[in-house]
Structure 1
Amino acid sequence: MHYHQLKLAALSALSIWASAVACRDIVSASGLEARDGVNYTELATKLSKNAQIYLPGSGAFDAAVARWSNLSTPVANLVVVPSTEHDIVETVNFANQYSLPFLTTNGVHGSITTLGKMTHGIEIHLSQLSGITITPDGQTATIGGGVIAKNLTDALWAAGKQTVTGTCECVGYLGPGLGGGHGWLQGHYGLIADQFVSANVVLANGSLITVDENSELFWALKGAGHNFGIVTSMTSKIYDIQQPNYAIETLIFSGDQVEAVYEVANEQWLTNGKTMPLDLINWSYWYFDPVTDPEKPVIAMYLIQQGVDTVDTAYTQPFLNLGPISTQALSGTYRDLATWTGISLDATPCQKTGNANPRFPIYLKSYNTTAQARVYELFNQATTNASTAFSNALFMFEGYSQQAVKAIPSASTAFAYRADNLLVAPLLTYTPDGPALDARASELGNQIREILYQGSGETSLNTYVNYAYGDETPLAWYGSEVWRQDRLRALKGEVDPLGRFSFYAPIV
């Protein structure tokens, strides 16, 4: 990836372990000399012995700042990897002292273009805050801010427990959760954010507080949390594993069948008051696979059922009646879901390849099959042309069971879109090649989204903030109701009046 060199470009390559004054192991103290009025040695002396500081030119720095999407990326002059909550307090206070921007990172997939507004400052990388502690009663677990989804799933599974996490194994637990957070188990338990019990949070002024359901801030953390602080740990609900076994049926269709495929989905689950069965998840992907179809993108329909070894024919037969190109049936456990759907830790979507990966999400209640056909044709033209830059694009349609999500009152969290049934997003993967190509991707993605929006019959654009492209508005990210916007802005003014947390989908 290409990273702009800004004020501290002259800093020598250096990775240090920051520790107490008496026992610092600093490779070259000159690397942390005061520069441009900023004394970075001062910060190093205040951090715990296992905290780390990375400077430009080191492999550790490059790895820490590398993004999954190389489009409008944030720029850091220094990376701090805290080992304790207090390290974050010291780093925020230091940044405030020198009026330095700071940005907290963890996981992989935060790709919103508003991050590019950070042109210098400190990255706070939470990877060392990776503790997972199950409480003695087995009802909750305290989860460090640096924990990723796979590690949490595996740790809980070993104890006979599970909770709602993001579906992709390499995403963090808290990053998605602070934006609401969809997951395989949400039909049973609600969103990731719905599991939150209490949180330790470092505020913009450097103070460390604990909040729970009695706090206005806790309401905001459940859907708009990126705007309000650094969550160092979260205590969340966990559950006994009830049905470990899962089955999947993958059906590959020709693009010529696009309207028929999504009409079946509507008739089965999404119209006339129907909803996705509690034990079923319905995903689909569009992508160009010249081996299967050299002319146009295919439709991969995933029917995933919990508690069985074979997906019920009541779910599969209506799709089989359409005559798919191929089918495949697999059985396993909950921990196989990411592999089956191509989002495991070692799969391509979890790798940092230098590509740009903008998404253009929209929530829907059901499929407008005419709109599906129109956007399929746009996707077809964009991905199969010999000169296209978007041949590796992926169109994602996520349909989870919604019972527990909808059982929670909409006003009880900052997440605004409990009434919607589908999460849809084109992912326009491409190799960066300058502003003109970026503009083409933006135009295509927004054109696709606009067709879906117009076909939805909705009066406001509802988007998933964790997938956001960046040109959406706060009304699209956090709900268009006046009371929601007023409540969020008022709390922002109280908790973060200087807008220190404003690089990710800012409220104002």
Structure 2
Amino acid sequence: MVKAKFSTWASALCFLSLCGDAAAHPAATAAACKADLKGLLTDPARHWAVNTTVSFPGDATFANATERWSIFSAPTYSAAVSPGTEADVSKVINLARTYGIPFMARSGGHGYAASFGKLQNGLSLDMSKFNTVKIDSAAKTLTVGPGARYRDILDPLYNAGFYVQTGSCSCPSVIGVAIGGGVGRLMGELGLTADALQSVRLVGADGVAKTVSATSYPDLWWAIRGAGANFGVITSATFKVQTLASNNNGNVFMLDFYLPKEKSLDYFKVIEKHYSPMPANLAAVLVLNWNSTLNVSQVGSDWIFFGTEADARKALAPILALGAQYISATIPWNKIIAISGAGYDPENCLPNKPRNSFSLNQKVYSAVGWQQGFETITDFFEKNPGGRASQIMLELFGNQATAAVPASETCWPWRDVRGFFQAQFVYDATDSATQQAANTYGAKIRSQYAPYTGYSKPTVFVNYARGDEPIENVFGADKLPRLAQLKHKYDPSNLFAYGHPLPQSYP
């Protein structure tokens, strides 16, 4: 025991002397820091649980523990811990606080921010082993761990007779989405994913695991629903779910089609005229992309109606009148992501792509604004063949249930939002010319579209934020004073500093 304690003390002293202040000690090499961190993590005094994995570059498990959906401004790691128990999550946070180890929690690896790249040679706290999915039919709740992704809950929920708010892709972590707010096709009927939250288990900067809910740590409960990555690591979350019987037995009507660019403006005008605002039970995802077979730009569309086909055809009459070649079907709720949009989900979820996004919230729909963005990205496609896997995505959702939640209920600031505009650029990681062009065109498209969003300034949903936006445009100027106070209260040493970090004082 004495030997183990001495080893821990010596390793900590070495770590602090070599890595604690890189600016003051420029001779401290990355290799020395890696060796130090390895010594700390492999010391027998750690007493990791048998199902906890510690890995390092070159280990078979290290790549999975650090994998990301986007490698834009990606963090780099010298080590990874994949805890198997909540106690080991606490242990990692205590080590990070005690020894000044920069770290970031990873659930589905889907997070995206320019600030991620500030974490270099740090520690990945990989939560993928917390992938449990539990449905309580009597209580009508779903409890998941941070390693559970949307694709893990769809079939179990449906088979048990339930549904819940989800996003547009299968690969993000359910909890990761929820703590940023969580937007999707059911915003009109059910609100945000965060609005379905009942409680969470959270390990804070003090290393203590606690249950957070409306009645337990209510100030923290307010903050984690919209800015959760700043306040701790969530080990489980419980959501309220809805019965399929309450919504056409879980069946939805899907309408998919493509239109050439020549018809795009007329189509956009139909949407602006008839669907702004969108009905509560109707949602659309439009993709403005490049058809590599025909070598032209096009508009792909997926419309989902929560209800019967007869009612759907009435609601979609202006769209059906366009005369496009449609694919339509009645499908179960749990198959929306897999089937809709011509099955784009697997491609959209491929990891380790340099996805480079420029996003904005939409309060109103603007045909002119969309068309201008389409013209600009078409110009990008024509001049930059290496970037033709890029796209503009328009998510158009109802917001009736979202807006019905009082603004004071959560820290999520955009209760009036009705959609999201994303210019997302994809290219080969070694193609620096296309990357440079993407940066130029992305900034231009975002700037062009900002006046058409319905907001007086360019606002953005935190899970879609690039990280170069003013912090007020992400978290809301009216929310920031309280958020900053809570950040100072619950994370005074700023351990959770890399995912759209909050200040500890504002203004």
Normalised by the length of structure 2, the TM-score is: 0.87
Residues 1:495 and 2:485 are matched in the alignment: no
CA contact (8 A) 1:276 1:401 kept: yes
Residues 1:419 and 2:395 are matched in the alignment: no
User: Bigger CA drift: 135-144 or 88-97?
Assistant: 135-144
1:412 is paired with a residue whose SS is: coil
- Give distance in 1, aligned partners of 2:278 and 2:404: 14
Look up the match of 2:152: 151
CA contact (8 A) 2:37 2:78 kept: no
CA contact (8 A) 1:111 1:357 kept: no
- Give distance in 1, aligned partners of 2:65 and 2:344: 17
Alpha-carbon distance, 1:290 to partner: 3.4
CA contact (8 A) 1:310 1:330 kept: no
2:128 is paired with a residue whose SS is: coil
Q: Which amino acid is the alignment partner of residue 256 of structure 1? A: E
CA contact (8 A) 1:191 1:405 kept: yes
Residues 1:301 and 2:304 are matched in the alignment: no
Alpha-carbon distance, 1:133 to partner: 2.5
Alpha-carbon distance, 1:77 to partner: 1.0
CA contact (8 A) 1:167 1:184 kept: yes
Q: Flag the 1:53–1:420 CA change in 2: closer, same or farther, 3 A.
A: same
2:403 is paired with a residue whose SS is: helix
Look up the match of 2:175: 174
Q: Flag the 1:44–1:358 CA change in 2: closer, same or farther, 3 A.
A: farther
Alpha-carbon distance, 1:480 to partner: 2.9
Q: Which amino acid is the alignment partner of residue 336 of structure 2? A: L
Q: Which amino acid is the alignment partner of residue 272 of structure 2? A: N
CA deviations 1:31-74 (Å, max 9, x no partner) are xxx62795222377422111111111123112221222122111
CA contact (8 A) 2:201 2:209 kept: yes
CA deviations 1:294-329 (Å, max 9, x no partner) are 3x31111222112334673334332343343x3211
User: Bigger CA drift: 441-450 or 451-460?
Assistant: 451-460
CA contact (8 A) 1:288 1:384 kept: no
Q: Flag the 1:99–1:43 CA change in 2: closer, same or farther, 3 A.
A: farther
CA deviations 1:405-430 (Å, max 9, x no partner) are 11101121111111111111111111
CA deviations 1:222-266 (Å, max 9, x no partner) are 111111110111121122113311121112111122221111111
Q: How does 1:76-155 map to 2 (within 5 A)?
A: 76-135=77-136, 137-155=138-156
Residues 1:449 and 2:472 are matched in the alignment: no
- Give distance in 1, aligned partners of 2:190 and 2:450: 29
- Give distance in 1, aligned partners of 2:342 and 2:490: 36
Look up the match of 2:337: 338
Alpha-carbon distance, 1:136 to partner: 6.2
Out of 267, 274, 283, the residue aligned to residue 285 of structure 2 is 283
Look up the match of 1:261: 267
1:233 is paired with a residue whose SS is: strand
Q: Flag the 1:356–1:343 CA change in 2: closer, same or farther, 3 A.
A: farther
Structure 1, unaligned runs of 5 or more: 1-5, 12-33
- Give distance in 2, aligned partners of 1:351 and 1:92: 30
- Give distance in 2, aligned partners of 1:344 and 1:208: 40
Alpha-carbon distance, 1:150 to partner: 1.4
Q: How does 1:215-254 map to 2 (within 5 A)?
A: 215-242=218-245, 243=248, 244-254=250-260
| Greater fraction helix | 2
User: Bigger CA drift: 47-56 or 315-324?
Assistant: 315-324
User: Bigger CA drift: 39-48 or 159-168?
Assistant: 39-48
Q: How does 1:332-411 map to 2 (within 5 A)?
A: 332-342=331-341, 347-352=346-351, 354-385=352-383, 387-411=384-408
Look up the match of 2:56: 55
Q: Flag the 1:91–1:431 CA change in 2: closer, same or farther, 3 A.
A: same
2:392 is paired with a residue whose SS is: strand
Taking every aligned residue pair, what percent have the same amino acid on both sides? 26
- Give distance in 2, aligned partners of 1:358 and 1:394: 11
Q: Which amino acid is the alignment partner of residue 269 of structure 1? A: Y
- Give distance in 2, aligned partners of 1:440 and 1:457: 28
- Give distance in 2, aligned partners of 1:419 and 1:435: 38
CA contact (8 A) 2:110 2:172 kept: yes
- Give distance in 1, aligned partners of 2:33 and 2:195: 46
Alpha-carbon distance, 1:106 to partner: 1.4
- Give distance in 1, aligned partners of 2:408 and 2:83: 35
Alpha-carbon distance, 1:158 to partner: 2.3
2:155 is paired with a residue whose SS is: helix
Structure 2, unaligned runs of 5 or more: 1-28
CA contact (8 A) 1:303 1:311 kept: no
- Give distance in 1, aligned partners of 2:365 and 2:255: 21
Look up the match of 1:23: none
1:56 is paired with a residue whose SS is: coil
1:187 is paired with a residue whose SS is: coil
CA contact (8 A) 1:249 1:329 kept: yes
Q: Which amino acid is the alignment partner of residue 394 of structure 1? A: Q
Q: Which amino acid is the alignment partner of residue 489 of structure 1? A: A
1:425 is paired with a residue whose SS is: strand
Q: Which amino acid is the alignment partner of residue 266 of structure 2? A: A
The CA RMSD measured in Å over matched residues stands at 2.3
Look up the match of 1:19: none
Q: Flag the 1:305–1:170 CA change in 2: closer, same or farther, 3 A.
A: same
Q: How does 1:421-440 map to 2 (within 5 A)?
A: 421-433=418-430, 437-440=434-437
Q: Which amino acid is the alignment partner of residue 499 of structure 2? A: Y
Look up the match of 1:504: 499
Number of aligned residue pairs: give it. 470
